[in-house]
A and B are shown apart, each in its own frame.
Chain A
Amino acid sequence: MSLKRRVRKNIWLNEWNDIVRGASGGFLLGTPLLYTMEVWWIGSFAEPPRLLISLLTNFVVVFLLIRTEGFRRTGKIGLIDALMDSIETLAIGAICAAIILVLIREINLATSINEALGKIVFESAPFSLGVAVANSALSGDRDGRERTSRNNLSNGQKHLSSHSKTAEINATLADIGATLIGAIFIAFSISPTEEVPMLAAAMTPPWLLATIAASVLISYGIVFVSGLTNQAKRQQQQGLFQRPLSETVMCYLVSLLAAALMLWFFHQLSIDDPWTVWLSHTIVLGLPATIGGAAGRIVV
Protein backbone atom coordinates (compact mmCIF):
# COMPACT_ATOMS: atom_id res chain seq x y z
CA MET A 1 0.00 0.00 0.00
CA SER A 2 2.69 2.44 1.04
CA LEU A 3 4.86 1.35 -1.91
CA LYS A 4 1.93 1.96 -4.25
CA ARG A 5 1.44 5.40 -2.79
CA ARG A 6 5.13 6.18 -3.13
CA VAL A 7 5.10 5.11 -6.79
CA ARG A 8 2.07 7.30 -7.37
CA LYS A 9 3.72 10.24 -5.62
CA ASN A 10 6.84 9.70 -7.74
CA ILE A 11 4.80 9.82 -10.93
CA TRP A 12 3.39 13.23 -10.00
CA LEU A 13 6.77 14.50 -8.87
CA ASN A 14 8.42 13.38 -12.12
CA GLU A 15 5.70 15.05 -14.13
CA TRP A 16 6.03 18.26 -12.12
CA ASN A 17 9.81 18.25 -12.68
CA ASP A 18 9.28 17.70 -16.42
CA ILE A 19 6.88 20.65 -16.58
CA VAL A 20 9.16 22.94 -14.58
CA ARG A 21 12.12 21.94 -16.78
CA GLY A 22 10.06 22.80 -19.86
CA ALA A 23 8.93 26.11 -18.38
CA SER A 24 12.53 26.96 -17.44
CA GLY A 25 13.66 26.45 -21.02
CA GLY A 26 10.76 28.60 -22.13
CA PHE A 27 11.66 31.48 -19.80
CA LEU A 28 15.26 31.32 -20.94
CA LEU A 29 14.46 31.68 -24.63
CA GLY A 30 11.26 33.67 -24.33
CA THR A 31 12.07 36.45 -21.86
CA PRO A 32 14.27 38.60 -24.17
CA LEU A 33 11.39 38.76 -26.67
CA LEU A 34 8.94 39.58 -23.88
CA TYR A 35 10.93 42.76 -23.36
CA THR A 36 10.48 43.73 -27.00
CA MET A 37 7.57 46.11 -27.56
CA GLU A 38 7.41 45.37 -31.28
CA VAL A 39 6.28 41.85 -30.46
CA TRP A 40 3.44 43.25 -28.29
CA TRP A 41 2.45 45.53 -31.14
CA ILE A 42 2.48 42.72 -33.68
CA GLY A 43 0.23 40.84 -31.28
CA SER A 44 -1.98 43.91 -30.77
CA PHE A 45 -3.03 44.32 -34.36
CA ALA A 46 -2.67 40.80 -35.75
CA GLU A 47 -5.82 39.58 -37.42
CA PRO A 48 -7.32 36.26 -36.31
CA PRO A 49 -6.40 34.37 -39.52
CA ARG A 50 -2.78 35.42 -39.06
CA LEU A 51 -2.91 34.23 -35.46
CA LEU A 52 -4.09 30.80 -36.57
CA ILE A 53 -1.30 30.59 -39.16
CA SER A 54 1.28 31.55 -36.50
CA LEU A 55 -0.07 28.93 -34.11
CA LEU A 56 0.09 26.27 -36.81
CA THR A 57 3.63 27.23 -37.88
CA ASN A 58 4.71 27.19 -34.28
CA PHE A 59 3.16 23.77 -33.81
CA VAL A 60 5.01 22.32 -36.80
CA VAL A 61 8.39 23.70 -35.67
CA VAL A 62 7.82 22.52 -32.09
CA PHE A 63 6.81 19.08 -33.37
CA LEU A 64 10.04 18.78 -35.39
CA LEU A 65 12.10 19.82 -32.34
CA ILE A 66 10.21 17.41 -30.07
CA ARG A 67 11.05 14.55 -32.45
CA THR A 68 14.69 15.02 -31.54
CA GLU A 69 14.62 16.80 -28.18
CA GLY A 70 11.69 17.75 -25.96
CA PHE A 71 11.36 18.67 -22.32
CA ARG A 72 10.99 15.15 -20.97
CA ARG A 73 13.88 12.84 -20.30
CA THR A 74 12.67 10.13 -22.63
CA GLY A 75 15.04 10.17 -25.59
CA LYS A 76 13.59 9.32 -28.99
CA ILE A 77 9.82 8.99 -29.01
CA GLY A 78 7.11 7.79 -31.38
CA LEU A 79 4.92 9.90 -33.64
CA ILE A 80 1.85 10.02 -31.39
CA ASP A 81 3.93 10.74 -28.30
CA ALA A 82 5.66 13.56 -30.15
CA LEU A 83 2.28 15.02 -31.18
CA MET A 84 1.01 14.88 -27.62
CA ASP A 85 4.22 16.38 -26.26
CA SER A 86 3.96 19.16 -28.86
CA ILE A 87 0.51 20.09 -27.59
CA GLU A 88 1.86 20.16 -24.03
CA THR A 89 4.84 22.24 -25.15
CA LEU A 90 2.60 24.83 -26.79
CA ALA A 91 0.35 24.97 -23.73
CA ILE A 92 3.28 25.40 -21.31
CA GLY A 93 4.66 28.13 -23.58
CA ALA A 94 1.33 29.94 -23.75
CA ILE A 95 0.75 29.79 -19.99
CA CYS A 96 4.28 31.01 -19.15
CA ALA A 97 4.07 33.83 -21.71
CA ALA A 98 0.66 34.84 -20.36
CA ILE A 99 1.93 34.90 -16.77
CA ILE A 100 4.85 37.19 -17.62
CA LEU A 101 2.68 39.40 -19.86
CA VAL A 102 0.30 39.90 -16.92
CA LEU A 103 3.27 40.51 -14.60
CA ILE A 104 4.74 43.23 -16.81
CA ARG A 105 1.24 44.70 -17.17
CA GLU A 106 1.07 44.20 -20.91
CA ILE A 107 -2.13 42.24 -20.34
CA ASN A 108 -4.50 43.79 -17.82
CA LEU A 109 -8.20 44.15 -17.24
CA ALA A 110 -8.44 46.94 -19.84
CA THR A 111 -6.85 44.78 -22.56
CA SER A 112 -9.36 43.47 -25.08
CA ILE A 113 -9.48 39.71 -25.54
CA ASN A 114 -8.28 40.05 -29.15
CA GLU A 115 -5.20 41.93 -28.15
CA ALA A 116 -4.43 39.61 -25.25
CA LEU A 117 -4.76 36.60 -27.56
CA GLY A 118 -2.47 38.18 -30.15
CA LYS A 119 0.17 38.98 -27.57
CA ILE A 120 0.01 35.51 -26.04
CA VAL A 121 0.18 33.75 -29.43
CA PHE A 122 3.20 35.72 -30.63
CA GLU A 123 5.05 35.73 -27.32
CA SER A 124 4.39 32.04 -26.79
CA ALA A 125 6.34 31.21 -29.97
CA PRO A 126 9.81 31.77 -28.46
CA PHE A 127 8.57 30.31 -25.16
CA SER A 128 7.44 27.06 -26.71
CA LEU A 129 10.67 26.77 -28.71
CA GLY A 130 12.48 27.14 -25.38
CA VAL A 131 10.28 24.44 -23.85
CA ALA A 132 10.99 22.17 -26.81
CA VAL A 133 14.76 22.42 -26.38
CA ALA A 134 14.67 22.54 -22.56
CA ASN A 135 16.22 19.14 -22.19
CA SER A 136 19.37 19.98 -24.12
CA ALA A 137 19.54 23.62 -23.03
CA LEU A 138 19.32 22.86 -19.33
CA SER A 139 21.22 19.61 -19.18
CA GLY A 140 24.56 21.28 -18.54
CA ASP A 141 26.09 19.14 -15.85
CA ARG A 142 26.28 21.24 -12.74
CA ASP A 143 27.47 18.18 -10.83
CA GLY A 144 30.15 17.50 -13.39
CA ARG A 145 31.76 20.83 -12.60
CA GLU A 146 31.55 20.16 -8.90
CA ARG A 147 32.80 16.65 -9.24
CA THR A 148 35.84 17.47 -11.33
CA SER A 149 36.82 20.38 -9.15
CA ARG A 150 36.43 18.20 -6.12
CA ASN A 151 38.50 15.43 -7.72
CA ASN A 152 41.21 17.86 -8.67
CA LEU A 153 41.33 19.16 -5.18
CA SER A 154 41.49 15.76 -3.54
CA ASN A 155 44.19 14.65 -5.98
CA GLY A 156 46.28 17.72 -5.46
CA GLN A 157 45.91 18.19 -1.76
CA LYS A 158 45.89 15.80 1.09
CA HIS A 159 45.08 18.24 3.88
CA LEU A 160 41.32 18.18 3.98
CA SER A 161 40.88 20.83 6.65
CA SER A 162 43.00 23.48 4.94
CA HIS A 163 41.52 23.07 1.48
CA SER A 164 37.90 22.84 2.52
CA LYS A 165 37.76 26.54 3.23
CA THR A 166 39.35 27.59 -0.08
CA ALA A 167 37.08 25.13 -1.87
CA GLU A 168 34.10 26.72 -0.17
CA ILE A 169 35.14 30.20 -1.26
CA ASN A 170 36.03 28.97 -4.74
CA ALA A 171 32.63 27.35 -5.16
CA THR A 172 30.90 30.53 -3.99
CA LEU A 173 32.98 32.67 -6.34
CA ALA A 174 32.25 30.24 -9.18
CA ASP A 175 28.53 30.56 -8.49
CA ILE A 176 28.69 34.36 -8.43
CA GLY A 177 30.78 34.40 -11.61
CA ALA A 178 28.41 32.07 -13.41
CA THR A 179 25.44 34.17 -12.28
CA LEU A 180 27.09 37.35 -13.56
CA ILE A 181 27.97 35.80 -16.91
CA GLY A 182 24.44 34.47 -17.38
CA ALA A 183 22.82 37.73 -16.24
CA ILE A 184 24.94 39.80 -18.62
CA PHE A 185 24.38 37.32 -21.45
CA ILE A 186 20.58 37.66 -21.30
CA ALA A 187 20.04 41.18 -19.92
CA PHE A 188 22.79 43.18 -21.63
CA SER A 189 20.88 43.33 -24.90
CA ILE A 190 17.71 44.41 -23.05
CA SER A 191 19.24 47.09 -20.81
CA PRO A 192 19.72 49.90 -23.39
CA THR A 193 16.20 49.52 -24.82
CA GLU A 194 13.18 51.73 -24.25
CA GLU A 195 11.19 48.83 -22.80
CA VAL A 196 12.77 48.97 -19.34
CA PRO A 197 11.60 52.53 -18.46
CA MET A 198 8.31 51.85 -20.25
CA LEU A 199 7.56 48.73 -18.19
CA ALA A 200 8.90 50.32 -15.01
CA ALA A 201 6.51 53.26 -15.50
CA ALA A 202 3.52 50.92 -15.43
CA MET A 203 4.68 49.14 -12.26
CA THR A 204 3.08 49.98 -8.94
CA PRO A 205 4.71 48.71 -5.71
CA PRO A 206 2.55 45.54 -5.49
CA TRP A 207 3.55 44.65 -9.05
CA LEU A 208 7.22 45.26 -8.24
CA LEU A 209 6.86 42.87 -5.29
CA ALA A 210 5.21 40.33 -7.58
CA THR A 211 8.09 40.71 -10.04
CA ILE A 212 10.61 40.06 -7.26
CA ALA A 213 8.70 36.95 -6.20
CA ALA A 214 8.47 35.70 -9.78
CA SER A 215 12.19 36.30 -10.37
CA VAL A 216 13.18 34.29 -7.31
CA LEU A 217 10.70 31.48 -8.07
CA ILE A 218 11.78 31.12 -11.70
CA SER A 219 15.45 31.19 -10.72
CA TYR A 220 14.82 28.50 -8.11
CA GLY A 221 12.90 26.41 -10.64
CA ILE A 222 15.64 26.63 -13.25
CA VAL A 223 18.49 25.66 -10.92
CA PHE A 224 16.95 23.33 -8.38
CA VAL A 225 14.01 21.66 -10.08
CA SER A 226 14.89 21.43 -13.75
CA GLY A 227 18.65 20.86 -13.58
CA LEU A 228 20.22 17.46 -13.61
CA THR A 229 21.26 17.65 -9.99
CA ASN A 230 19.42 15.47 -7.53
CA GLN A 231 18.63 16.29 -3.96
CA ALA A 232 21.37 14.21 -2.35
CA LYS A 233 24.17 15.64 -4.48
CA ARG A 234 22.94 19.18 -4.01
CA GLN A 235 23.24 18.83 -0.26
CA GLN A 236 26.92 17.93 -0.65
CA GLN A 237 27.61 20.94 -2.79
CA GLN A 238 30.18 23.29 -1.36
CA GLY A 239 30.03 27.03 -1.05
CA LEU A 240 29.09 29.59 1.55
CA PHE A 241 25.52 29.63 0.27
CA GLN A 242 25.11 25.97 -0.50
CA ARG A 243 21.51 25.79 0.64
CA PRO A 244 19.10 26.18 -2.30
CA LEU A 245 17.12 29.06 -0.82
CA SER A 246 20.11 31.14 0.28
CA GLU A 247 21.89 30.47 -3.02
CA THR A 248 18.81 31.61 -4.94
CA VAL A 249 18.47 34.79 -2.91
CA MET A 250 22.20 35.55 -3.10
CA CYS A 251 22.18 35.09 -6.88
CA TYR A 252 19.07 37.27 -7.17
CA LEU A 253 20.94 40.07 -5.42
CA VAL A 254 23.95 39.56 -7.71
CA SER A 255 21.63 39.72 -10.74
CA LEU A 256 19.99 42.90 -9.43
CA LEU A 257 23.39 44.50 -9.00
CA ALA A 258 24.36 43.45 -12.53
CA ALA A 259 21.07 44.88 -13.84
CA ALA A 260 21.63 48.22 -12.09
CA LEU A 261 25.18 48.43 -13.44
CA MET A 262 24.07 47.63 -16.98
CA LEU A 263 21.36 50.31 -16.80
CA TRP A 264 23.87 52.82 -15.50
CA PHE A 265 26.38 51.81 -18.20
CA PHE A 266 23.85 52.61 -20.94
CA HIS A 267 22.81 55.92 -19.31
CA GLN A 268 19.36 54.57 -18.55
CA LEU A 269 19.97 55.52 -14.93
CA SER A 270 22.00 58.40 -13.59
CA ILE A 271 23.11 59.39 -10.11
CA ASP A 272 20.61 62.27 -10.15
CA ASP A 273 17.64 59.98 -10.61
CA PRO A 274 15.51 59.40 -7.49
CA TRP A 275 16.01 56.08 -5.75
CA THR A 276 12.51 54.96 -6.71
CA VAL A 277 13.52 55.09 -10.37
CA TRP A 278 16.65 53.05 -9.65
CA LEU A 279 14.54 50.54 -7.72
CA SER A 280 11.80 50.05 -10.30
CA HIS A 281 14.15 49.95 -13.32
CA THR A 282 16.49 47.52 -11.60
CA ILE A 283 13.69 45.17 -10.54
CA VAL A 284 12.20 45.21 -14.05
CA LEU A 285 15.55 44.37 -15.68
CA GLY A 286 16.27 42.05 -12.74
CA LEU A 287 13.76 39.51 -14.04
CA PRO A 288 15.62 38.63 -17.28
CA ALA A 289 18.95 39.07 -15.49
CA THR A 290 17.98 36.53 -12.83
CA ILE A 291 16.74 34.06 -15.42
CA GLY A 292 20.05 34.43 -17.25
CA GLY A 293 21.97 34.13 -14.00
CA ALA A 294 20.16 30.93 -13.07
CA ALA A 295 20.87 29.43 -16.48
CA GLY A 296 24.47 30.55 -16.14
CA ARG A 297 24.88 28.57 -12.94
CA ILE A 298 23.69 25.44 -14.71
CA VAL A 299 25.49 25.83 -18.00
CA VAL A 300 28.71 27.72 -17.30
Chain B
Amino acid sequence: MRVEFFLLIGALLFTIGCAGVLIRRNAIVILMCIELMLNAVNLTFVAFALENQSMTGHIFVFFVMTVAAAEAAIGLAIVIALFRRRRTTDVEDASLMRW
Protein backbone atom coordinates (compact mmCIF):
# COMPACT_ATOMS: atom_id res chain seq x y z
CA MET B 1 0.00 0.00 0.00
CA ARG B 2 1.38 3.33 -1.00
CA VAL B 3 1.56 6.51 1.05
CA GLU B 4 -0.14 8.42 -1.79
CA PHE B 5 -3.42 6.67 -0.98
CA PHE B 6 -3.49 8.31 2.45
CA LEU B 7 -2.47 11.67 1.00
CA LEU B 8 -5.36 11.40 -1.47
CA ILE B 9 -7.83 10.55 1.29
CA GLY B 10 -6.49 13.47 3.34
CA ALA B 11 -6.91 15.87 0.42
CA LEU B 12 -10.48 14.67 -0.20
CA LEU B 13 -11.45 14.98 3.47
CA PHE B 14 -9.93 18.46 3.65
CA THR B 15 -11.85 19.54 0.56
CA ILE B 16 -15.12 18.18 1.92
CA GLY B 17 -14.54 19.96 5.25
CA CYS B 18 -13.68 23.22 3.49
CA ALA B 19 -16.84 22.98 1.37
CA GLY B 20 -18.82 22.35 4.56
CA VAL B 21 -17.44 25.50 6.20
CA LEU B 22 -18.46 27.48 3.12
CA ILE B 23 -21.97 26.15 2.52
CA ARG B 24 -23.36 25.38 5.99
CA ARG B 25 -25.10 28.05 8.06
CA ASN B 26 -25.25 26.33 11.43
CA ALA B 27 -22.28 27.45 13.56
CA ILE B 28 -21.94 24.05 15.26
CA VAL B 29 -21.76 22.21 11.93
CA ILE B 30 -19.15 24.73 10.78
CA LEU B 31 -17.07 23.87 13.86
CA MET B 32 -17.48 20.18 13.03
CA CYS B 33 -16.28 20.79 9.49
CA ILE B 34 -13.20 22.53 10.93
CA GLU B 35 -12.54 19.38 12.98
CA LEU B 36 -12.86 17.41 9.73
CA MET B 37 -10.20 19.60 8.10
CA LEU B 38 -7.86 19.28 11.09
CA ASN B 39 -8.24 15.51 10.95
CA ALA B 40 -7.40 15.44 7.26
CA VAL B 41 -4.20 17.38 7.96
CA ASN B 42 -3.38 15.00 10.82
CA LEU B 43 -3.74 12.03 8.51
CA THR B 44 -1.31 13.65 6.08
CA PHE B 45 1.17 14.30 8.90
CA VAL B 46 1.06 10.66 10.01
CA ALA B 47 1.45 9.41 6.42
CA PHE B 48 4.55 11.57 5.91
CA ALA B 49 5.89 10.49 9.30
CA LEU B 50 5.75 6.88 8.09
CA GLU B 51 7.42 7.73 4.80
CA ASN B 52 10.27 9.69 6.39
CA GLN B 53 10.55 7.33 9.37
CA SER B 54 10.55 10.35 11.67
CA MET B 55 8.24 10.80 14.62
CA THR B 56 8.15 14.59 14.38
CA GLY B 57 4.89 14.26 12.45
CA HIS B 58 3.36 12.42 15.40
CA ILE B 59 4.40 15.27 17.71
CA PHE B 60 2.69 17.69 15.35
CA VAL B 61 -0.50 15.63 15.40
CA PHE B 62 -0.40 15.65 19.20
CA PHE B 63 -0.27 19.45 19.28
CA VAL B 64 -2.95 19.78 16.60
CA MET B 65 -5.21 17.64 18.80
CA THR B 66 -4.50 19.93 21.76
CA VAL B 67 -5.33 23.03 19.76
CA ALA B 68 -8.45 21.35 18.35
CA ALA B 69 -9.69 20.56 21.86
CA ALA B 70 -9.18 24.17 23.01
CA GLU B 71 -10.73 25.50 19.81
CA ALA B 72 -13.81 23.28 20.15
CA ALA B 73 -14.35 24.34 23.77
CA ILE B 74 -14.03 28.06 23.00
CA GLY B 75 -16.06 27.79 19.79
CA LEU B 76 -18.93 26.00 21.49
CA ALA B 77 -18.87 28.55 24.33
CA ILE B 78 -19.20 31.31 21.75
CA VAL B 79 -22.09 29.44 20.09
CA ILE B 80 -23.85 29.17 23.47
CA ALA B 81 -23.32 32.89 24.13
CA LEU B 82 -24.65 33.68 20.65
CA PHE B 83 -27.69 31.47 21.25
CA ARG B 84 -28.42 33.25 24.55
CA ARG B 85 -28.47 36.65 22.88
CA ARG B 86 -30.02 35.91 19.49
CA ARG B 87 -31.89 32.58 19.94
CA THR B 88 -30.14 31.20 16.88
CA THR B 89 -26.96 29.46 15.79
CA ASP B 90 -27.22 30.65 12.22
CA VAL B 91 -24.05 32.52 11.23
CA GLU B 92 -26.06 34.69 8.83
CA ASP B 93 -27.80 36.26 11.83
CA ALA B 94 -24.53 37.24 13.52
CA SER B 95 -23.73 39.87 10.91
CA LEU B 96 -22.87 42.90 13.04
CA MET B 97 -19.33 43.12 11.69
CA ARG B 98 -20.34 42.53 8.09
CA TRP B 99 -19.87 45.24 5.52
The yes or no verdict on A and B being binding partners is no
Which B residues fall within an 8 A CB radius of A? none
